[in-house]
Amino acid sequence: MAAAPPSCCLVAFPPCAKDGLVVFGKNSARPRDEVQEVVYFPAADHEPESKVECTYISIDQVPKTHAIVLSRPAWLWGAEMGANEHGVCIANEAVNAREPAAGTEALLGMDLVRLGLERGSTAKEAFDVIVALLEEHGQGGSYYEDAGSCHSFQSAYLIVDRDEAWVLETVGKYWAAEKVTEGVKCICNQLSLTTKIDAEHPELRSYAQSQGWWTGEDEFNFSEVFSPADDHLHCCAGKDSLEKQEESITVQTMIDILRDKASGVCVDSETFLTTASAVSVLPQSRSSPCIHYFTGTPDPSRSIFKPFIFVDDVKLVPKTQSPCFGDDDPAKREPRFQEKPDRRHELYKAHEWARVVIASGQEQGRKLRKTMLELEKQGLEAMEEILASPGPLDPAEVGDLFYDCVDTEIKFFK
């Protein structure tokens, strides 16, 4: 069984997080050469009986989809992480389970991230969307752009809004979930739910019994029953880091944790790299906007987190969007992935130079990283002012926010 990529998703609730904010973070560990893009889709109305084409299959479309912003591998339809206009954030983890994931093409876990965001206006609504679609269409297909072999995994999700989070872990169409409203929570590339289960597939336990994985006499422990025999549950390094912060977790804390290579939260191995990162701040006060920070580039320790706020007239950012190959895309043609096109977007190309310079360890690299962190700090401070402001947000001030930050970063690298 192939190793699941070691991504990490985290959430902290007040009072562990400061100032009445829910703070969410995700590092997306993927194959080293994969490009992630940051894309925005406005809310939309759809014709009756229309279909939506996901990565591998088409499913029925709903009458209305919410505005969403996604960080996604550039070859697929879904997303590794993202947010919607209602302050819902979802991140996905590939996990291995006792039952191998289906290689048959169905919905990817990443498709379900996007579908949950498009269709759910609360964390619970998004959760309900995902489990209903899982029951109807199943999950399966390759997680990587690789013609050589099919890399399929089961999926876990962290689904968060201003009030609560749901940890949803799936094995085929079966699932278990835990509701979280306080403290900190982390999910990694292993099943983590144990005996605290707040919702589950109606046939989950009978299925486990039918497979001989649970006798029905012991207390039901989801990860013990469904994890592979060689998967020894270890505490997520990100959770350790969050718990050490006690009641002082901020956006900066979450960014620092995502940058930490020593703990293993930030992945840089022969096989995998943290190819993109995101942090979201969800104020529990409805009068304040949710703010979402994306890198759009690999390795958060050498990237800038840039803010995005949902307003009616968000300016599109083509510089973080990969080239579109339409129906000629090797990911859409069958047999799939016979070639690998150059999917680098303009920000990714500009940032490649910075990564090389910083990795050199020379004085130029140290200066460059310091200037990048100063640029990021300016953005963070400006967002703190918005959150602290008693008045309503002026949409005209932030419609170009992410666009301007990306533009400034590219000019800086050039």
Report the catalytic residues: 9
Q: Give the 3-state secondary structure of residue 90.
A: strand
Cα–Cα distance measured from residue 140 to residue 102, given in angstroms and rounded to the nearest whole number: 5
355, HSE (Cβ side, Cα atoms, 13 Å): 16
DSSP, res 3: P
Helix axes 346-359, 401-413, angle to 10 degrees: 50
Strand ranges inside 32-73, DSSP E: 36-41, 44-45, 51-53, 58-60, 64-65, 68-73
Residue 243 parent element (H or E): helix 237-244
The continuous run of DSSP H or E covering 237 comes out as: helix 237-244
Token match 């991230």: residue?
A: 113
* Partners of 83 in beta bridges: 69, 89
Nearest one of 206, 94, 149 to 337, comparing CA atoms: 149
- Quote the tokens at residue 396: 């005209």
Q: Which residues contact 223 (CB under 8 A, 6 or more apart)?
A: 169, 190, 191, 192, 193, 194, 233
Work out the number of other CB atoms within 10 angstroms of the CB of residue 395. 14
Cα separation values, 37 from 55, 254, 317, 320, 347, Å: 15, 21, 10, 5, 9
**CA-based angle 220:182:265, to the nearest 5?**
80
Contacts of 224 (CB under 8 A, 6+ apart): 194
Are the C-beta atoms of 35 and 73 separated by less than 8 Å? yes
Task: Identify whether the C-beta of residue 344 lies closer than 8 Å to the C-beta of residue 322.
Answer: yes
Q: What is the DSSP string of 170-187?
A: EETTEEEEEEE-SSEEEE
